[in-house]
Amino acid sequence: MLRLSTLISPLTALGRGTTFIVQEMGRIAMFFLRSFALIFYRPFQINKTMQQIYFVGAKSVFVICLTGAFTGMVLGLQGYYTLVKFGSTGFLGAAVALTLIRELGPVLTAIMVTGRAGSAMAAEVGIMRISEEIDALETMDINPIRFLVSPKLAAALISMPLLTALFDVVGILGGYLTGSVLLGISPGVYFMRIETSVIMDDVTGGFVKSVVFAAVIVTICCFQGYFTHTRADGFGAKGVSISTTSAVVISCVLILITDYVLTSFLL
Amino acid sequence: MREPLIQFKNVYKRFGENHVLNGTDLSIYKGEITTIIGKSGGGKSVLLKHIIGLLEQDSGTILFEGRSVSDMNKAEKKALKRKCSYMFQGTALFDSLTIYENIALPLKETTSLSDSEINRRVREKMEQLDLHEIDEKYPSQLSGGMKKRVALARALITDPEIVLFDEPTTGLDPIRKKAVHRMISDYQQKFGFTGVVISHDIPDIFNISQRVAMLNDGRVLFEGSQDELAMASDPAIKEFIQGMEIRHEKIDCIPSLAEKGKLTGEQAFALPGQTGFSIILLHLDNLNEITLSQGPGASKAILNSFVTKAHDCIRGTDSCFFYGQDGILILLPGLARDSAEIMCDRLISMINIGDILEKAPISNFCLFASASFAEAGSGNRPEEIIADSEFKQSKKYKLSFCK
């Protein structure tokens, strides 16, 4: 009997773990679908959405510009010293622009937004949960998901492509700064290569990614905060801190996984 | 026979291994205020959350106007929720919204009223609840009592048919407490809502409620009117009510003593028709040692336990009050001083000090108590009687406890 149970217990644990993950994925998917559908529930929450656009979008502009500029600059440097070995420094503009537009722009923007706005969303919703504010909304017959999550989701879906575009543009200018101004590549060649190599599909692909990442960030961060009270590993303030950490870690990991999946479909 | 508006039938609810509701049966009638009393952590809030649908029972039935809530469709449940309002124990105000926005929120989100109409209603409620010049403040900038009143304003802003109050007066001063009780009562009379109140304000809360239910270990131990509660013979009910009354008398007794020259002893101690009485003033002399070593909570628990035990040992007509930080005042109507001393000896011998100190993490401790006595005739003033006993030689007792 003992031997049998020893053999079975790892399988049981594996089964439980798998079931939990599948259930959790289902719950997250349902949470996203409800939040998304409730964006279109009348009356539209225009004021709340605008406030969230200001919080997620406008307030992220500085940090996006900063990261975009340095990412572009470092790409310019690295790209130049790699291309110079092959005597093709003229392709620097294309290399910087394609890397940014296809990959780094959407991914780094999403990671910066997760750190800046996603963590705040998880903490805000988590605190509202533990202080019974979400219960209070339910007793007032106000749908908490519509009231709290839908405006954030709508705002992220609008803001993220714009922030990604900003990141790309600033990054390209950063590449120009190192490639042309510091290392002497002709500005005309730099921008001409961008114009000839970047096609609309690259831009569309980058934007598709940014929209998907927006959905991932808001869904994961709000989900973690919303179900803070059901955590077995922490209650109260500790529960909120664990939820916030989980929200950021899961979002970042999912951004990278989703990025790979999307890239494989888009290429 | 009247049909209950809300009825709990054999409702069970547990969280993990913690069985909170154990076959709860309760009836709430339309247009009445039902007060739910019971020990803290006994499932009163959980019961209330079942009414509004925040929690769902594991088994059993909750009926609304004779229909099972579980069998209702989404629209019917929504309609039921719209009839109810809930005032949370911890207020549950939105920290990021101003006070005005907090109160206006249910109207803004669930009605199509114009901004001017919402503004008028919010101002009216704020005025009625004495909430002045705090519109633009945030909940964190208010005192606990004021937050309670804001939560109350938010609960009543939609003029609900059923209002659930989860400890509406906890943390309020006595004047505000009475004001909130009066307001609940006035509103109830004016709008005729059905109220369910969880409260520990015994007996004040009984003045505004038509029915009382006592929840103990997840079951409704008593359900009926206040008079029926007073007649109840169940020891658990008596213990709870008496325990509460001791605390209440502690508050009422001392101010009445302070009204020097206005009241006689009989009037102050509410003994109409008594020709004389004796008092025992019992001090736990070295209780401060427990305070220093274990903290004030431990000494308070010992004093509470001592008073409860003393209360069990005295006669039905006697009364027991807290007196100062370490004292107990026992009032013995119709008893002479000598008899009071005999009574005190008997009381001390009956008290098992082991039970009292059981919860305090101490060993080999001797609790010293000293008792002084006084006899009062008709017309003596309370402060004179107590001063008389304090200046007289006291009788010392030593209550040893070893473990």
Convert the pLDDT of each residue in A113-150 to its tens digit.
999 999 999 999 999 999 999 999 999 989 999 999 99
**Mean pLDDT score, A59-78:** 95
pLDDT of residue B273: 52
- List all residues 6 or more positions away from B171 whose beta carbon is below 8 Å from its beta carbon: B144, B145, B148
Quote the radius of gyration of chain A (alpha carbons, Å). 22
- pTM of the entire predicted model: 0.71
Q: Where are the alpha helices (DSSP H) in chain A?
A: 2-39, 46-52, 61-83, 92-98, 105-113, 119-130, 133-139, 144, 150-176, 187-197, 200-226, 236-266
Is B110's CB within 8 Å of A141's CB? Answer: yes
- Check residue B403 and report its DSSP letter: -
Per-residue pLDDT band for B316 (boundaries 50, 70, 90) equals low
Distance CA B48, CA B166 (A): 8
- List all residues 6 or more positions away from A190 whose beta carbon is below 8 Å from its beta carbon: A92, A93, A175, A176, A179, A180
Paired tokens of A81: 């010293």
Closest approach of chain B CAs to the CA of A133, in angstroms? 5
- Chains A and B form CB pairs within 8 A to the count of 46
**Mean pLDDT score, B379-392:** 66
pLDDT of residue B207: 81
Q: List CB contacts (< 8 A) between B86 and chain A.
A: 136, 139
**Mean pLDDT score, B259-265:** 48
Minimum Cα–Cα distance from A135: chain B residue: B54
Residue B188 has pLDDT above 90, yes or no: no
Instruction: Give yes or no for a contact between A42 and A144, defined as CB atoms under 8 angstroms apart.
Output: no
Distance CA A254, CA B24 (A): 46
**Mean pLDDT score, A174-194:** 92
- List all residues 6 or more positions away from B328 whose beta carbon is below 8 Å from its beta carbon: B280, B281, B282, B283, B284, B303, B306, B307, B310, B320, B321, B322
pLDDT of residue B248: 40
Paired tokens of B287: 């209780």
pLDDT of residue B403: 45
Q: What value, to the nearest 5°, has the Cα angle with vertex A157 and ends A156 and A160? A: 65
**Mean pLDDT score, A169-196:** 93
Instruction: Give yes or no for a contact between B287 and B276, defined as CB atoms under 8 angstroms apart.
Output: no
Is B109's CB within 8 Å of A147's CB? Answer: yes
Q: Which tens digits make up the pLDDT trace of A71-119?
A: 999 999 999 999 999 988 889 999 999 999 999 999 999 999 999 999 9
Is B95's CB within 8 Å of A138's CB? Answer: no
Distance CA B314, CA B311 (A): 6
Per-residue pLDDT band for B398 (boundaries 50, 70, 90) equals low
Is A141's CB within 8 Å of B82's CB? Answer: yes
Q: Name the residue facing B90 among A132, A141, A147 (closest C-beta).
A: A132
Closest approach of chain A CAs to the CA of B159, in angstroms? 12
Chain B residues interacting with chain A (CB cutoff of 8 angstroms): 49, 52-54, 78, 81-82, 84-86, 88, 90, 92-96, 105-106, 109-110, 158
pLDDT of residue B271: 53
Distance CA B181, CA B186 (A): 9
Distance CA B109, CA A73 (A): 49
Q: List CB contacts (< 8 A) between A139 and chain B.
A: 52, 54, 81, 84-86
Bigger pLDDT: B100 or B17? B100
Task: Give the SS3 label for residue B259.
Answer: coil
Considering chain A, what is the average pLDDT of its residues? 93
Q: List CB contacts (< 8 A) between B52 and chain A.
A: 139
Bigger pLDDT: A64 or B363? A64
Distance CA B310, CA B350 (A): 9
Q: List CB contacts (< 8 A) between A129 and chain B.
A: none
pLDDT of residue B119: 94
Bigger pLDDT: B320 or A258? A258
Q: List CB contacts (< 8 A) between A135 and chain B.
A: 49, 54, 88, 92
pLDDT of residue B359: 57
Q: How many residues does chain B have?
A: 403
The Cβ of residue B250 has, within 10 Å, a number of other Cβ atoms equal to 15
Bigger pLDDT: B365 or B251? B365
Q: List CB contacts (< 8 A) between B78 and chain A.
A: 141
Distance CA B364, CA A60 (A): 66
Bigger pLDDT: A131 or B292? A131
Closest approach of chain B CAs to the CA of A142, in angstroms? 7
* Residue at token pair 């803001």: A159
Quote the radius of gyration of chain B (alpha carbons, Å). 25
Q: Which tens digits make up the pLDDT trace of A2-35?
A: 567 777 888 888 999 999 999 999 999 999 999 9
Is A127's CB within 8 Å of B109's CB? Answer: no
pLDDT of residue B396: 64
* Residue at token pair 């989860």: B166
Per-residue pLDDT band for B339 (boundaries 50, 70, 90) equals confident
Distance CA B228, CA B218 (A): 21
Per-residue pLDDT band for B259 (boundaries 50, 70, 90) equals very low
Distance CA B205, CA A189 (A): 85
The crossing angle, in degrees rounded to 10, of helices B144-156 and B174-191 is 0
Closest approach of chain A CAs to the CA of B24, in angstroms? 22
Strand B59-64 relative to strand B319-323: parallel, antiparallel, unpaired? unpaired
Checking ipTM against 0.90, whether it exceeds it is no
pLDDT of residue B253: 41
DSSP B346-394: HHHHH--HHHHHTTS---SEEEEEEEEEEEE-TT--HHHHHHHHHHSPP
Identity at A235, one-letter amino acid code: F
Considering chain B, what is the average pLDDT of its residues? 79
Q: Name the residue facing A139 among B52, B90, B94 (closest C-beta).
A: B52
Q: List CB contacts (< 8 A) between B54 and chain A.
A: 135, 138-139
Residue B87 has pLDDT above 70, yes or no: yes
Is A136's CB within 8 Å of B92's CB? Answer: yes
**B69: alpha, beta or left, given left = phi > 0 and alpha = psi -120 to 50?**
alpha
pLDDT of residue A1: 53
Residue B260 has pLDDT above 70, yes or no: no
Distance CA B310, CA B329 (A): 10
Q: Which tens digits make up the pLDDT trace of A229-260?
A: 888 777 788 999 999 999 999 999 999 999 99
